[in-house]
């Protein structure tokens, strides 16, 4: 049986107060649309996304799934009908891109309930802590009798706690027929997807309700609702990581991305932020106030506190990156250390090399980036500037305070600083002169 998901993503999201289409706003580093696609891709054979005109950014985000354009925004039923040519011959589910947190198990349950054989239509419902102005799902004898919008509901109907999440699933032929029958006889003159429920009932079909966790189906229409969704996803990600063997001393202060990969026995201290594309191997310690993005951390590394790993940073096993060290597009071999106050950008650093405090790889000339290569077991003294492109050989020592502009051979000592000159007694004369001018 072929299964098709139609995702409605044509809304502008004016309540977000943003030039960015609503569905492209991110939760845990991933757009709303991508969150929903990730779940749907594991359940449905085909996915089609309905977008509005001039929404090329949403089209790109949906790739490789096809998009169809709703040229006139005439309501949710009209948007779903625009995709009818993609329904196929099996089951069709209509979902909303601004309702992105529906999880794999819920989607499977929806499909299973629809195909159990006793319901022509299945919908998702939920029980929020505050039902507020949500549409109510009214049940009778275990099936949906009707869905009523809050504004149209009587007081007794508003007392119902089961609310409509808006997601529907039916056989493709039925869904297409009902969508064609929806009328815009309402105050807004729009075609509402919820009218399909009444049409299914009018056909004599049963409508089943699948109750989903409220946190999965709460829509996102404002920045505050986006923040609430972020909190939900972070709680899921933290819980999954700890269940997999990760230690977090203060989970609520750790922020993960949807694609963060943490091996068992990783330890994460408070106030750590993971951007997209981070992989951390077993035994690593990520210490407090560290920021990681687009990087690989090897086994048994120590990173932080107050460190920053930027895209392209790759740490081998047992690497130490200490406080106020920034690493970008740099590979450090096993056992290398940079424990204090350094910038390492566009570099290759060999195993067991020590980088002293205040070291800088001067990688940018104002127009292009250049690489620095440091061999294994080298020692770079404190306050060294390595002006790329430059190479320091295996076992070399660079004296503290040096500015290195030429290659250093293996096992050589490099000194590149002015000769110190001491002038006995001059300090007394200088102080006297300055005191005489003091105001």
Sheet of 302-303: strand order equals 247-248, 267-268, 285-286, 302-303, 320-323, 337-340, 354-355, 379-380, 397-398, 413-414
Backbone angles phi, psi at 94, to 5 degrees: -110, 125
Q: How far apart are CA 355 and CA 319, in angstroms?
A: 11
Q: Residue 418: CB partners within 8 Å, gap ≥ 6?
A: none
3-state secondary structure 209-263: EEECCHHHHCCCCCHHHHHHHHHHHHHHHHHHHHHCCCEECCHHHCECCCCCEEC
Contact (CB, 8 A) for 341 and 353: no
- Cα–Cα distances (Å) from 296 to 255, 286, 376, in that order, read 17, 12, 20
Residues in the chain: 439
Catalytically active residues, by annotation: 340
Contact (CB, 8 A) for 75 and 31: no
- Cα–Cα distances (Å) from 111 to 10, 121, 137, 170, 339, in that order, read 24, 10, 19, 9, 54
Tell me the HSE value of 435 on the side-chain side, using a 13 A CA sphere.
6
Helix (H/G/I), strand (E/B), else coil: 77 = helix
* Residue whose C-alpha is closest to residue 349's, from 359, 358, 341: 359
Cis peptide upstream of residue 64 (ω within 30 degrees of 0): yes
Q: Record the tokens describing residue 370, joined without a space.
A: 């250049």
Helix (H/G/I), strand (E/B), else coil: 327 = strand
């Amino acid at each position: 049986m072929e299964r098709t998901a139609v995702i409605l993503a044509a809304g502008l999201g004016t309540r977000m107060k943003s030039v960015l289409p609503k569905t492209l706003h991110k939760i845990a580093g991933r757009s709303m649309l991508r969150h929903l696609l990730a779940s749907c891709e594991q359940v449905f054979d085909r996915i089609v996304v309905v977008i509005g005109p001039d929404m090329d950014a949403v089209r790109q985000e949906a790739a490789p799934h096809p998009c169809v354009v709703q040229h006139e925004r005439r309501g949710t039923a009209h948007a779903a009908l625009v995709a009818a040519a993609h329904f196929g011959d099996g089951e069709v589910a209509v979902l909303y891109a601004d309702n992105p947190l529906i999880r794999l198990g819920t989607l499977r349950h929806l499909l299973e309930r629809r195909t159990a054989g006793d319901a022509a239509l299945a919908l998702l419902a939920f029980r929020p802590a505050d039902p507020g102005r949500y549409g109510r799902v009214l049940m009778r004898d275990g099936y949906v009798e009707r869905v009523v919008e809050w504004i149209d509901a009587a007081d007794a109907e508003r007392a119902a706690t089961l609310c409509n999440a808006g997601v529907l699933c039916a056989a493709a032929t039925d869904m297409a027929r009902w969508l064609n029958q929806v009328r815009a006889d309402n105050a807004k003159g729009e075609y509402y997807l919820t009218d399909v429920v009444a049409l299914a009932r009018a056909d004599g079909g049963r409508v089943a309700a699948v109750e989903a966790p409220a946190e999965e189906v709460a829509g996102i229409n404002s920045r505050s609702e986006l923040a609430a969704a972020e909190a939900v996803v972070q709680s899921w990600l933290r819980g999954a990581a700890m269940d997999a063997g990760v230690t977090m001393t203060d989970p609520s202060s750790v922020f993960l991305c949807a694609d963060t990969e943490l091996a068992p026995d990783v330890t994460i201290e408070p106030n750590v932020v993971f951007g997209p594309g981070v992989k951390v191997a077993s035994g690593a310690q990520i210490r407090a106030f560290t920021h990681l993005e687009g990087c690989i951390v090897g086994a048994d590394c120590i990173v932080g506190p107050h460190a920053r790993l930027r895209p392209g940073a790759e740490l081998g096993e047992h690497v130490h990156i200490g406080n106020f060290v920034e690493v970008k597009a740099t590979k450090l071999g096993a056992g290398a250390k940079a424990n204090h106050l350094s910038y390492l950008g566009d570099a290759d650093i060999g195993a067991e090399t020590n980088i002293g405090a205040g070291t800088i790889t001067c990688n940018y000339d104002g127009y292009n980036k250049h690489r620095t290569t440091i061999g294994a077991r080298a020692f770079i003294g404190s306050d060294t500037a390595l002006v790329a492109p430059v190479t320091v050989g295996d076992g070399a020592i660079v004296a503290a305070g040096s500015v290195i502009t030429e290659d250093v051979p293996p096992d050589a000592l490099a000194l590149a600083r002015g000769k110190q000159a001491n002038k006995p007694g001059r300090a007394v004369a200088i102080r006297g002169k300055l005191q005489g001018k003091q105001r």
